């Protein structure tokens, strides 16, 4: 089976790495890919948003399965384009992907189908939104309705901060068309969990839970990023009963609701949860594999990923068939200095030959230099992921290997999974 993976990040490298282990897979293409995917697959220089270019590639190379990583091509309708041409593709249609591409749509669905979430209101004008927040308990959460590369959610500690966020989104349009409308929500307290699940539109098979780190710096300080690291499983959510309860109250109602509305959801549904004791509420839904969650989840997967993806497409997903390795995994993102703001590119990445063989290196923002060396080419450059029988061992192993890798202006958080091993 020939597989085409769409995307260029660490998530796509992890998917290629796992699919490369399947006896069902004979060849892997990645478009556009990175230096890491180029080592285990064939990269194709086609942007993830070039739907016609990707379709032409899939048809020309007789691709048997397309797997879509990023959210933007899903929102643009890549699944619809591929299936219309007869190319089997894993992921939700454009209509179903609105669970991620429109936060307002997602909250309307949650309210309609009884999914516990934050109280919220929708606004299209700055003044109306400003009038609403006056007198609200602080902090308050402001969300741009559309896709904003993981940066469209602002937690405003004061009314002044909330007003600035509303002005930036609705008046200055810092997120472009994604900010035509905003969602103003109450602030939920607790601990965040990422719970991803496979679904064929009817059946739901949860993956192991994980926790990611969105802030750029230690102690959750600095600006929001696409994610600076992740670990699995969280000690406070490492229980089959808790996972099943979260699936029952948060994911199954949405999957069934989407089917009832005529937008069946097939692919990966990602529930961002806020957990406070026994209270579980949904922060948001995503419509694809998470990044950096995938990088720590996939190494714990024993099942054949290709078989699971095909079962989702065929409508034959058996949740009981998924098998997961015991133990823990910790992933640390190595980023370019200045990320998520401006940063320089083209720095040689040194020390990769010194990384332990059983520590995964998932490339993201990398490319090849003139001498075929690996150089930086993005904000998040790569993730190192280690597994171990305990969180402490996995964490020690990943950071001992991080210390062997270097490039100019490299930055990373030193506290990934620290809360699981101390205090």
Reply yes or no on whether the pLDDT at 310 is more than 80: yes
Percent of the chain scored above 70 by pLDDT? 100
Note whether 315 and 334 are same-domain residues.
no
Query: How is residue 269 written in tokens?
Result: 């549904």
Domain that holds residue 336: 328-420
pLDDT of residue 115: 97
User: C-alpha dihedral over 212, 241, 257, 184, to 10 degrees?
Assistant: -40
Domain boundary, last residue among 321, 350, 371 = 321
Tell me if 241 is assigned to some domain. Answer: yes
pLDDT tens column, 340-375: 999 999 999 999 999 999 999 999 999 999 888 999
**Collapsing DSSP states into helix, strand and coil, what is residue 388?**
strand
Note whether 239 and 165 are same-domain residues.
no
Note whether 200 and 310 are same-domain residues.
yes
d(CA 15, CA 39): 14
Q: Which residues lie below 8 Å from residue 296, measured CB to CB, with a gap of 6+? A: 210, 230, 231, 232, 329, 330, 331, 385
Q: Select from 241, 269, 242, 240 the least CA-distant residue to 255.
A: 269
Contact call for residues 193 and 279 (beta carbons, < 8 A): no
Residue 35: give its domain's CATH number. 3.40.50.20
In the sheet that holds 204-206, the strands lie side by side as 204-206, 191-199, 267-276, 279-286
Domain boundary, last residue among 266, 289, 321 = 321
Tell me if 101 is assigned to some domain. Answer: no
Note whether 205 and 296 are same-domain residues.
yes
pLDDT of residue 422: 84
As for how many domains the chain has, the answer is: 4
Residue 139: give its domain's CATH number. 3.30.1490.20
Note whether 313 and 335 are same-domain residues.
no
Contact call for residues 101 and 71 (beta carbons, < 8 A): yes
Residue 222: give its domain's CATH number. 3.30.470.20
Which of the four pLDDT bands, split at 50, 70 and 90, describes residue 148? confident
Reply yes or no on whether the pLDDT at 423 is more than 80: no
The residue with tokens 């190192």 is 384
Note whether 22 and 84 are same-domain residues.
yes
Note whether 59 and 14 are same-domain residues.
yes
Strand 215-217 relative to strand 221-224, pairing? antiparallel
pLDDT tens column, 38-49: 999 999 999 999
Tell me if 149 is assigned to some domain. Answer: yes
Query: How is residue 294 written in tokens?
Result: 């995938």
Q: Which residues lie below 8 Å from residue 144, measured CB to CB, with a gap of 6+? A: 103, 152, 153, 169, 175, 178, 179, 182
Tell me if 252 is assigned to some domain. Answer: yes
Tell me if 112 is assigned to some domain. Answer: no
* N residues, the chain: 423
Helices (H) then strands (E): counts for the chain: 13, 23
Return the beta strands (E) in 170-228 as ranges: 182-186, 191-199, 204-206, 211-212, 215-217, 221-224
Contact call for residues 367 and 377 (beta carbons, < 8 A): yes
Which of the four pLDDT bands, split at 50, 70 and 90, describes residue 50? very high
The residue with tokens 């620290």 is 418
Note whether 375 and 315 are same-domain residues.
no
Query: How is residue 347 written in tokens?
Result: 């720095």
d(CA 374, CA 70): 23
**Collapsing DSSP states into helix, strand and coil, what is residue 284?**
strand
Tell me if 276 is assigned to some domain. Answer: yes
Note whether 130 and 244 are same-domain residues.
no
pLDDT of residue 276: 93
Q: Select from 271, 388, 380, 416 the least CA-distant residue to 8.
A: 380
Note whether 174 and 196 are same-domain residues.
no
pLDDT of residue 238: 79
Reply yes or no on whether the pLDDT at 252 is more than 80: yes
H or E element, residue 231: strand 229-232
Contact call for residues 236 and 329 (beta carbons, < 8 A): no
Tell me if 111 is assigned to some domain. Answer: no
Tell me if 353 is assigned to some domain. Answer: yes
Phi, psi of 64 (to 5 degrees): -95, -20
Beta bridge partners of 224: 215
Q: Which residues lie below 8 Å from residue 322, measured CB to CB, with a gap of 6+? A: 198, 205, 207, 301, 303, 308
Q: Select from 59, 57, 52, 60 the least CA-distant residue to 30.
A: 57
pLDDT tens column, 56-106: 999 999 999 999 999 999 999 999 999 999 999 999 999 999 999 999 999
Note whether 161 and 244 are same-domain residues.
no
Return the beta strands (E) in 277-327 as ranges: 279-286
pLDDT of residue 372: 87
pLDDT tens column, 280-300: 999 999 999 999 999 999 999
Note whether 241 and 257 are same-domain residues.
yes
Alpha helix positions (H), 7-113: 10-19, 51-60, 71-76, 78-84, 98-101, 103-112
Reply yes or no on whether the pLDDT at 234 is more than 70: yes
Per the prediction, the chain carries an average pLDDT of 95
């Amino acid at each position: 089976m020939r597989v085409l993976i769409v995307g260029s990040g660490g998530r796509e490298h992890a998917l290629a790495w796992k699919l490369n282990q399947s006896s069902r897979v004979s060849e892997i293409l990645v478009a556009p890919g990175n230096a890491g995917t180029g080592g285990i697959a064939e990269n194709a220089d086609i942007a993830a948003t070039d739907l016609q270019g990707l379709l032409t590639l899939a048809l020309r190379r007789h691709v048997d399965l397309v797997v879509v990583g990023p959210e933007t091509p899903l929102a643009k309708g890549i699944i619809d384009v591929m299936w219309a041409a007869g190319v089997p593709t894993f992921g939700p249609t454009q209509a179903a992907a609105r669970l991620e591409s429109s936060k307002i749509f997602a909250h309307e669905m949650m309210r309609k189908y009884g999914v516990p979430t934050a109280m919220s209101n929708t606004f299209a004008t700055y003044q109306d939104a400003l009038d609403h927040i006056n007198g609200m308990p602080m902090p308050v959460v402001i969300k741009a309705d559309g896709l904003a590369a993981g940066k469209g959610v602002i937690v405003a500690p004061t009314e002044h901060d909330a007003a600035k966020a509303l002005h930036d989104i609705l008046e200055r349009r810092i997120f472009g068309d994604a900010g035509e409308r905003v969602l103003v929500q109450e602030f939920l307290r607790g601990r965040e969990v990422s719970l991803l699940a496979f679904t064929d539109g009817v059946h739901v098979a949860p993956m192991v839970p994980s926790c990611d780190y969105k802030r750029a710096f230690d102690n959750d300080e600095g600006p929001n990023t696409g994610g600076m690291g992740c670990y699995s499983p969280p000690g406070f959510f490492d229980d089959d009963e808790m996972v099943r309860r979260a699936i029952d109250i948060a994911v199954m109602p949405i999957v069934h609701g989407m089917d009832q509305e005529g937008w069946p959801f097939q692919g990966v549904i990602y529930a961002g949860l806020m957990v406070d004791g026994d209270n579980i509420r949904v922060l948001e839904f995503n419509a694809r594999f998470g990044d950096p969650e995938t990088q720590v989840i996939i190494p714990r997967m024993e099942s054949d990923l290709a078989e699971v993806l095909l079962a989702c497409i065929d409508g034959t997903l058996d949740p009981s068939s998924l098998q997961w390795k015991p133990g823990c995994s910790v992933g640390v993102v190595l980023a370019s200095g200045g990320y998520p703001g401006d940063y320089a590119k083209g720095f040689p990445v040194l020390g990769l030959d010194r990384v332990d063989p059983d520590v995964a290196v998932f490339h993201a923002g990398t490319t090849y230099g003139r001498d075929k060396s690996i150089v930086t080419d993005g904000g998040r450059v790569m993730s190192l992921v280690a597994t171990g029988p305990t969180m402490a061992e996995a964490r020690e192993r990943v950071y001992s290997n991080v210390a062997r890798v270097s490039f100019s202006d490299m930055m990373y958080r030193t506290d990934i999974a620290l809360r699981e091993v101390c205090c």
